[in-house]
Structure 1
Protein backbone atom coordinates (compact mmCIF):
# COMPACT_ATOMS: atom_id res chain seq x y z
CA UNK A 1 0.00 0.00 0.00
CA UNK A 2 1.44 3.34 -1.01
CA UNK A 3 0.89 6.32 1.24
CA UNK A 4 -0.41 9.37 -0.63
CA UNK A 5 1.73 12.41 0.25
CA UNK A 6 -0.01 15.52 1.54
CA UNK A 7 0.40 18.99 0.05
CA UNK A 8 3.26 19.85 2.39
CA UNK A 9 5.11 16.78 1.18
CA UNK A 10 4.36 17.55 -2.46
CA UNK A 11 5.90 20.99 -2.06
CA UNK A 12 9.16 19.30 -1.07
CA UNK A 13 8.95 16.39 -3.49
CA UNK A 14 12.34 17.16 -5.00
CA UNK A 15 14.22 16.39 -1.79
CA UNK A 16 12.09 13.65 -0.23
CA UNK A 17 13.57 10.38 0.88
CA UNK A 18 11.39 7.31 0.48
CA UNK A 19 10.74 4.97 3.39
CA UNK A 20 9.39 1.41 3.27
CA UNK A 21 7.67 0.30 6.49
CA UNK A 22 7.58 -3.42 7.35
CA UNK A 23 5.42 -4.42 10.33
CA UNK A 24 2.59 -6.91 10.83
CA UNK A 25 0.51 -4.46 12.89
CA UNK A 26 -1.49 -1.97 10.77
CA UNK A 27 -1.92 0.37 13.73
CA UNK A 28 1.82 0.68 14.15
CA UNK A 29 2.33 1.28 10.43
CA UNK A 30 -0.28 4.03 10.63
CA UNK A 31 1.50 5.53 13.61
CA UNK A 32 4.77 5.74 11.69
CA UNK A 33 2.90 7.23 8.73
CA UNK A 34 1.44 9.95 10.96
CA UNK A 35 4.89 10.69 12.35
CA UNK A 36 6.44 10.91 8.88
CA UNK A 37 3.68 13.21 7.62
CA UNK A 38 5.16 15.97 9.77
CA UNK A 39 8.60 15.62 8.16
CA UNK A 40 8.61 17.35 4.74
CA UNK A 41 11.74 15.53 3.53
CA UNK A 42 10.32 12.03 4.15
CA UNK A 43 7.54 10.10 2.46
CA UNK A 44 6.34 6.52 2.97
CA UNK A 45 6.50 4.87 -0.42
CA UNK A 46 5.12 1.52 0.69
CA UNK A 47 4.03 -0.76 3.52
CA UNK A 48 4.44 -4.52 4.02
CA UNK A 49 3.41 -6.96 6.73
CA UNK A 50 5.63 -9.86 5.67
CA UNK A 51 9.25 -10.26 4.63
CA UNK A 52 8.14 -11.62 1.25
CA UNK A 53 6.09 -8.51 0.58
CA UNK A 54 8.98 -6.34 1.74
CA UNK A 55 11.39 -7.94 -0.72
CA UNK A 56 8.93 -7.44 -3.58
CA UNK A 57 8.34 -3.80 -2.68
CA UNK A 58 12.05 -3.12 -2.21
CA UNK A 59 12.62 -4.23 -5.80
CA UNK A 60 9.62 -2.34 -7.21
CA UNK A 61 9.79 0.89 -5.22
CA UNK A 62 13.55 1.33 -4.65
CA UNK A 63 13.19 2.95 -1.20
CA UNK A 64 15.95 4.96 0.46
CA UNK A 65 15.38 3.25 3.81
CA UNK A 66 13.58 0.20 5.18
CA UNK A 67 12.16 0.28 8.71
CA UNK A 68 11.29 -3.19 9.99
CA UNK A 69 10.13 -5.00 13.12
CA UNK A 70 11.64 -8.26 14.39
CA UNK A 71 8.36 -10.22 14.52
CA UNK A 72 6.74 -10.60 11.11
CA UNK A 73 4.09 -12.93 9.71
CA UNK A 74 6.51 -15.17 7.85
CA UNK A 75 10.21 -15.03 8.81
CA UNK A 76 12.10 -13.30 11.56
CA UNK A 77 12.84 -9.64 10.80
CA UNK A 78 16.56 -10.22 11.21
CA UNK A 79 16.37 -12.75 8.39
CA UNK A 80 14.74 -10.02 6.31
CA UNK A 81 17.66 -7.72 7.12
CA UNK A 82 20.07 -10.40 5.88
CA UNK A 83 18.08 -10.86 2.66
CA UNK A 84 17.92 -7.13 2.00
CA UNK A 85 21.65 -6.79 2.67
CA UNK A 86 22.39 -9.58 0.21
CA UNK A 87 20.16 -8.21 -2.55
CA UNK A 88 20.62 -4.47 -1.94
CA UNK A 89 23.96 -3.92 -0.18
CA UNK A 90 23.59 -0.14 -0.10
CA UNK A 91 19.98 -0.05 1.15
CA UNK A 92 20.02 0.97 4.84
CA UNK A 93 17.72 -0.80 7.31
CA UNK A 94 16.54 0.50 10.68
CA UNK A 95 15.03 -2.05 13.08
CA UNK A 96 12.20 -0.61 15.17
CA UNK A 97 10.88 -3.29 17.48
CA UNK A 98 9.23 -4.13 20.79
CA UNK A 99 11.96 -6.71 21.44
CA UNK A 100 14.62 -5.95 24.02
CA UNK A 101 17.52 -4.10 22.43
CA UNK A 102 19.97 -5.76 24.83
CA UNK A 103 19.07 -9.06 23.16
CA UNK A 104 18.61 -8.12 19.53
CA UNK A 105 20.52 -4.92 18.73
CA UNK A 106 23.87 -6.67 18.26
CA UNK A 107 22.29 -9.45 16.20
CA UNK A 108 20.53 -6.89 14.00
CA UNK A 109 23.76 -5.00 13.38
CA UNK A 110 25.60 -8.22 12.58
CA UNK A 111 22.85 -9.03 10.07
CA UNK A 112 23.42 -5.71 8.31
CA UNK A 113 21.03 -3.24 9.97
CA UNK A 114 22.29 0.31 10.47
CA UNK A 115 20.31 0.97 13.62
CA UNK A 116 18.09 -0.52 16.31
CA UNK A 117 15.44 1.26 18.34
CA UNK A 118 12.64 0.06 20.57
CA UNK A 119 9.06 1.02 19.74
CA UNK A 120 8.55 2.85 23.02
CA UNK A 121 11.21 5.40 22.02
CA UNK A 122 9.96 9.01 21.83
CA UNK A 123 8.89 10.16 18.34
CA UNK A 124 11.72 12.67 18.08
CA UNK A 125 14.24 9.89 18.74
CA UNK A 126 12.69 7.81 15.95
CA UNK A 127 13.05 10.74 13.54
CA UNK A 128 16.64 11.28 14.69
CA UNK A 129 17.41 7.60 14.12
CA UNK A 130 15.94 7.74 10.61
CA UNK A 131 18.03 10.78 9.73
CA UNK A 132 21.23 9.28 11.15
CA UNK A 133 20.81 6.02 9.27
CA UNK A 134 20.01 7.86 6.03
CA UNK A 135 23.26 9.82 6.50
CA UNK A 136 25.15 6.55 6.62
CA UNK A 137 25.62 6.56 10.38
CA UNK A 138 24.76 3.91 12.95
CA UNK A 139 22.05 4.54 15.53
CA UNK A 140 21.62 2.82 18.88
CA UNK A 141 20.02 4.08 22.07
CA UNK A 142 22.32 5.18 24.87
CA UNK A 143 21.40 2.00 26.77
CA UNK A 144 22.29 -0.30 23.87
CA UNK A 145 25.50 1.65 23.28
CA UNK A 146 26.48 1.25 26.92
CA UNK A 147 25.76 -2.48 27.00
CA UNK A 148 27.67 -3.23 23.80
CA UNK A 149 30.66 -1.04 24.65
CA UNK A 150 30.81 -2.42 28.19
CA UNK A 151 30.74 -6.01 26.92
CA UNK A 152 33.46 -5.21 24.38
CA UNK A 153 35.66 -3.38 26.87
CA UNK A 154 35.38 -5.98 29.61
CA UNK A 155 35.52 -8.97 27.32
CA UNK A 156 32.81 -10.52 29.45
CA UNK A 157 29.30 -11.78 28.77
CA UNK A 158 26.52 -13.18 30.86
CA UNK A 159 27.29 -16.64 32.22
CA UNK A 160 24.68 -18.17 29.88
CA UNK A 161 25.76 -16.23 26.79
CA UNK A 162 27.90 -19.01 25.31
CA UNK A 163 24.93 -21.35 25.12
CA UNK A 164 22.39 -18.66 24.23
CA UNK A 165 24.60 -17.57 21.32
CA UNK A 166 24.01 -21.00 19.76
CA UNK A 167 20.35 -20.16 19.27
CA UNK A 168 19.17 -18.87 15.92
CA UNK A 169 17.43 -15.50 15.81
CA UNK A 170 14.00 -17.15 15.74
CA UNK A 171 14.93 -19.54 18.56
CA UNK A 172 16.10 -16.66 20.70
CA UNK A 173 12.83 -14.84 20.04
CA UNK A 174 10.85 -17.90 21.16
CA UNK A 175 13.10 -18.45 24.18
CA UNK A 176 12.51 -14.85 25.26
CA UNK A 177 8.74 -15.22 24.86
CA UNK A 178 8.80 -18.42 26.92
CA UNK A 179 10.64 -16.52 29.61
CA UNK A 180 7.93 -13.88 29.58
CA UNK A 181 5.33 -16.52 30.43
CA UNK A 182 3.93 -17.17 26.96
CA UNK A 183 2.68 -20.65 26.16
CA UNK A 184 3.25 -22.54 22.91
CA UNK A 185 -0.17 -21.72 21.45
CA UNK A 186 0.14 -18.04 22.31
CA UNK A 187 3.62 -17.82 20.78
CA UNK A 188 2.38 -19.56 17.62
CA UNK A 189 -0.45 -17.04 17.38
CA UNK A 190 1.83 -14.05 17.97
CA UNK A 191 4.41 -15.19 15.43
CA UNK A 192 1.80 -16.32 12.87
CA UNK A 193 3.13 -19.86 12.64
CA UNK A 194 1.77 -23.29 13.56
CA UNK A 195 1.97 -24.87 16.99
CA UNK A 196 4.03 -27.67 15.44
CA UNK A 197 6.57 -25.11 14.24
CA UNK A 198 6.94 -23.70 17.75
CA UNK A 199 7.22 -27.20 19.20
CA UNK A 200 10.01 -27.98 16.72
CA UNK A 201 11.85 -24.80 17.75
CA UNK A 202 11.41 -25.68 21.42
CA UNK A 203 12.97 -29.09 20.77
CA UNK A 204 15.97 -27.49 19.04
CA UNK A 205 16.38 -25.00 21.89
CA UNK A 206 16.38 -27.79 24.47
CA UNK A 207 19.05 -29.65 22.53
CA UNK A 208 21.29 -26.61 22.15
CA UNK A 209 20.95 -25.64 25.82
CA UNK A 210 21.40 -29.20 27.09
CA UNK A 211 17.92 -29.40 28.64
CA UNK A 212 15.87 -32.57 28.85
CA UNK A 213 12.29 -31.59 29.64
CA UNK A 214 9.77 -28.86 28.85
CA UNK A 215 9.65 -27.63 32.49
CA UNK A 216 13.45 -27.29 32.47
CA UNK A 217 13.22 -25.22 29.29
CA UNK A 218 10.57 -22.90 30.69
CA UNK A 219 12.44 -22.50 33.99
CA UNK A 220 15.69 -21.68 32.17
CA UNK A 221 13.89 -19.15 29.98
CA UNK A 222 12.23 -17.45 32.94
CA UNK A 223 15.49 -17.29 34.88
CA UNK A 224 17.34 -15.89 31.88
CA UNK A 225 14.75 -13.18 31.18
CA UNK A 226 14.66 -12.28 34.88
CA UNK A 227 18.44 -11.92 34.95
CA UNK A 228 18.43 -9.75 31.85
CA UNK A 229 15.74 -7.46 33.25
CA UNK A 230 17.61 -7.16 36.55
CA UNK A 231 20.77 -6.28 34.64
CA UNK A 232 18.96 -3.58 32.68
CA UNK A 233 17.63 -1.99 35.89
CA UNK A 234 21.17 -1.61 37.22
CA UNK A 235 22.50 0.12 34.07
Structure 2
Protein backbone atom coordinates (compact mmCIF):
# COMPACT_ATOMS: atom_id res chain seq x y z
CA UNK A 1 0.00 0.00 0.00
CA UNK A 2 0.95 3.64 -0.26
CA UNK A 3 3.03 5.31 2.42
CA UNK A 4 1.82 8.76 1.32
CA UNK A 5 0.43 10.55 4.38
CA UNK A 6 -2.50 12.15 2.60
CA UNK A 7 -3.58 8.85 1.07
CA UNK A 8 -3.40 7.08 4.44
CA UNK A 9 -5.26 9.88 6.19
CA UNK A 10 -8.05 9.80 3.60
CA UNK A 11 -8.36 6.01 3.93
CA UNK A 12 -8.69 6.32 7.71
CA UNK A 13 -11.25 9.12 7.36
CA UNK A 14 -13.20 6.82 5.04
CA UNK A 15 -13.47 4.20 7.76
CA UNK A 16 -10.48 1.91 7.27
CA UNK A 17 -9.75 0.06 10.52
CA UNK A 18 -6.19 -0.87 9.60
CA UNK A 19 -3.44 -0.02 7.21
CA UNK A 20 -0.39 -2.02 6.17
CA UNK A 21 2.36 -1.38 3.69
CA UNK A 22 2.65 -3.95 0.92
CA UNK A 23 6.16 -4.92 2.03
CA UNK A 24 5.00 -5.97 5.51
CA UNK A 25 5.97 -9.36 6.90
CA UNK A 26 3.43 -12.19 6.97
CA UNK A 27 3.46 -12.11 10.79
CA UNK A 28 2.47 -8.43 10.75
CA UNK A 29 -0.40 -9.22 8.38
CA UNK A 30 -1.69 -11.89 10.78
CA UNK A 31 -1.32 -9.52 13.75
CA UNK A 32 -3.18 -6.78 11.87
CA UNK A 33 -6.06 -9.09 10.95
CA UNK A 34 -6.41 -10.30 14.54
CA UNK A 35 -6.26 -6.75 15.88
CA UNK A 36 -8.97 -5.50 13.51
CA UNK A 37 -11.15 -8.57 14.20
CA UNK A 38 -10.87 -7.71 17.90
CA UNK A 39 -12.43 -4.32 17.12
CA UNK A 40 -9.21 -2.31 17.37
CA UNK A 41 -7.25 -0.37 14.79
CA UNK A 42 -3.92 -1.45 13.37
CA UNK A 43 -1.35 0.66 11.55
CA UNK A 44 2.04 -0.51 10.38
CA UNK A 45 4.89 1.02 12.36
CA UNK A 46 6.07 3.36 9.58
CA UNK A 47 2.57 4.71 9.04
CA UNK A 48 2.02 5.10 12.77
CA UNK A 49 5.28 7.04 13.10
CA UNK A 50 4.38 9.35 10.18
CA UNK A 51 0.92 10.08 11.56
CA UNK A 52 2.30 10.87 15.02
CA UNK A 53 4.92 13.19 13.52
CA UNK A 54 2.19 14.99 11.56
CA UNK A 55 0.07 15.30 14.69
CA UNK A 56 2.95 16.78 16.70
CA UNK A 57 3.78 19.20 13.87
CA UNK A 58 0.14 20.36 13.83
CA UNK A 59 0.22 20.90 17.58
CA UNK A 60 3.31 23.05 17.21
CA UNK A 61 1.63 25.05 14.44
CA UNK A 62 -1.43 25.55 16.64
CA UNK A 63 0.80 26.98 19.39
CA UNK A 64 1.85 29.73 17.00
CA UNK A 65 -1.68 30.56 15.89
CA UNK A 66 -3.33 33.93 16.30
CA UNK A 67 -5.49 32.53 19.06
CA UNK A 68 -2.53 31.72 21.29
CA UNK A 69 -0.08 34.46 20.26
CA UNK A 70 -2.42 37.44 20.27
CA UNK A 71 -4.65 39.01 22.87
CA UNK A 72 -8.37 39.36 22.08
CA UNK A 73 -7.86 43.10 21.43
CA UNK A 74 -4.92 42.42 19.09
CA UNK A 75 -7.01 39.89 17.15
CA UNK A 76 -9.82 42.44 16.90
CA UNK A 77 -7.49 45.16 15.60
CA UNK A 78 -5.86 42.70 13.19
CA UNK A 79 -9.24 41.64 11.82
CA UNK A 80 -10.31 45.22 11.22
CA UNK A 81 -6.98 46.15 9.62
CA UNK A 82 -7.21 43.12 7.36
CA UNK A 83 -10.72 44.16 6.35
CA UNK A 84 -9.33 47.48 5.16
CA UNK A 85 -10.39 49.72 8.03
CA UNK A 86 -8.24 52.79 8.67
CA UNK A 87 -6.62 53.43 12.04
CA UNK A 88 -9.09 56.28 12.58
CA UNK A 89 -12.12 54.08 11.80
CA UNK A 90 -10.83 51.32 14.07
CA UNK A 91 -10.21 53.83 16.86
CA UNK A 92 -13.76 55.14 16.61
CA UNK A 93 -15.28 51.68 16.44
CA UNK A 94 -13.33 50.32 19.42
CA UNK A 95 -13.37 53.59 21.34
CA UNK A 96 -9.58 53.89 21.35
CA UNK A 97 -7.23 56.64 20.32
CA UNK A 98 -5.69 56.52 16.87
CA UNK A 99 -2.28 56.31 18.57
CA UNK A 100 -3.37 53.17 20.46
CA UNK A 101 -4.51 51.52 17.23
CA UNK A 102 -1.20 52.41 15.58
CA UNK A 103 0.64 50.96 18.58
CA UNK A 104 -1.39 47.74 18.29
CA UNK A 105 -0.54 47.57 14.58
CA UNK A 106 3.18 48.03 15.27
CA UNK A 107 3.09 45.40 18.04
CA UNK A 108 1.25 42.96 15.76
CA UNK A 109 3.84 43.40 13.04
CA UNK A 110 6.69 42.92 15.50
CA UNK A 111 5.10 39.95 17.28
CA UNK A 112 4.25 38.18 14.02
CA UNK A 113 7.42 39.29 12.20
CA UNK A 114 5.36 40.82 9.41
CA UNK A 115 6.30 44.02 7.62
CA UNK A 116 3.24 45.34 5.79
CA UNK A 117 -0.53 45.57 5.98
CA UNK A 118 -0.67 43.12 3.06
CA UNK A 119 1.25 40.54 5.12
CA UNK A 120 -1.03 41.17 8.11
CA UNK A 121 -4.05 40.66 5.86
CA UNK A 122 -2.65 37.42 4.47
CA UNK A 123 -1.95 36.20 8.02
CA UNK A 124 -5.48 37.12 9.18
CA UNK A 125 -7.03 35.20 6.28
CA UNK A 126 -4.81 32.16 6.90
CA UNK A 127 -5.72 32.18 10.61
CA UNK A 128 -9.44 32.51 9.89
CA UNK A 129 -9.84 35.96 11.42
CA UNK A 130 -11.34 37.28 8.20
CA UNK A 131 -12.06 36.06 4.70
CA UNK A 132 -11.86 37.43 1.21
CA UNK A 133 -15.65 37.28 0.93
CA UNK A 134 -16.35 39.81 3.69
TM-score normalised by L of structure 1:
0.27
TM-score normalised by L of structure 2:
0.45
Compare relative contact order (CA 8 Å, sep 6+) and give the higher one, 1 or 2: 2
Please identify which structure carries the higher helix content: 2
